[in-house]
Amino acid sequence: MKIEVAAIPLIMLLAISLAPSEAIPIKARVPIYVPANLPVTGTVCLPSALAAGLKAKLYVDNVFVDEGAADEVGCYKVTIKPLTPGKHELYAEIYKGGIKVAEISAEVIAIKGMITVRPDPLATLKRGETKRVSLFIENRSPVNMSNVRIEIEAPFPIYAERMTRVRNFVVRGSIGDLRVNETKEIRMELAIPSNFRPGTYTLRINMTYVVGESTYSAPLGVSVIVSQEGVEAPRTQQTTPQATSAAPTVTSQVESTTLPESEVQEEQMPAWLFLLIAFIGALVVGLVLWMVTRSS
């Protein structure tokens, strides 16, 4: 898993009644789970009208980490250096006018690979290509995560099933609950413009979830590779006019054979033979007529 923005905000909703005379100890009821070996940015909120403007000092494992003043709603934004895998102790002192009025302690458990996003890289695409991909998010922490919401931001147009397209490059939606060792699939469609610059880009994934009474937000990310090669536009087939030529006529051997004219013409009858046939014919006709008249 590759995390582009190496930070996880921690939101602790701890109700207190601030008393100027003595420090009130407050113990978080559930541990705070964070990814190991990554910087952690958190917000600690004290929902009290007296909390605004108060100052706080933060310690992790008895080592001073950060200090600051609460905003108008009583929230402190703190940053913790990367923690090694295992249990750690978070401790904060709240001051009003130089007097400590509250102490907050919580157990922090840093887990290596707590939330995994795969595959990474997610895909390799050509310029001008549109591709369907599947992103898998797995909960490897020891706690169930409820009301899990995902926001994905890409440097190019993106679509996702059952998610709202907030902007051309951003989709957002809920994937329900994510129990221990459970994996959820997010089906997306990535569209790379034809003039997009080749290189490796990051899909920024902000995952917000609830554990117990606390809300957490995990900025994750996966890479997408855009190759130098582009998708060729479909070519329009043009009909090239061709010169018309008479197709050769295949003739049979008899048709292609020319006989001499003397062999084709009919043989003419000699004149003497014609006269002889005519004389015999007349003689026969005369003889027949004579026999008829005699018999009558």
Strand locations in 180-270, DSSP E?
183-191, 199-211, 214-230
- DSSP secondary structure, 140-178, as one string: -SSS-EEEEEEEEE-SS-EEETTSEEEETTEEEEEEEEE
pLDDT (tens digit per residue) in 4-60: 223 333 334 334 444 445 667 777 667 888 878 877 666 666 656 567 788 888 899
Distance CA 20, CA 97 (A): 9
The domains located in the chain, with CATH, are 10-111 (2.60.40.10), 115-230 (2.60.40.10)
Residue 199: the pLDDT is 96
**SS3 label, residue 131:** strand
Distance CA 150, CA 178 (A): 12
CB 41 within 8 A of CB 81: no
pLDDT (tens digit per residue) in 154-167: 999 999 999 999 98
CB 208 within 8 A of CB 214: no
Low-confidence ranges of the chain (pLDDT < 50): 1-20, 241, 243-267
Query: What 8-state DSSP symbol labels residue 261?
Result: H
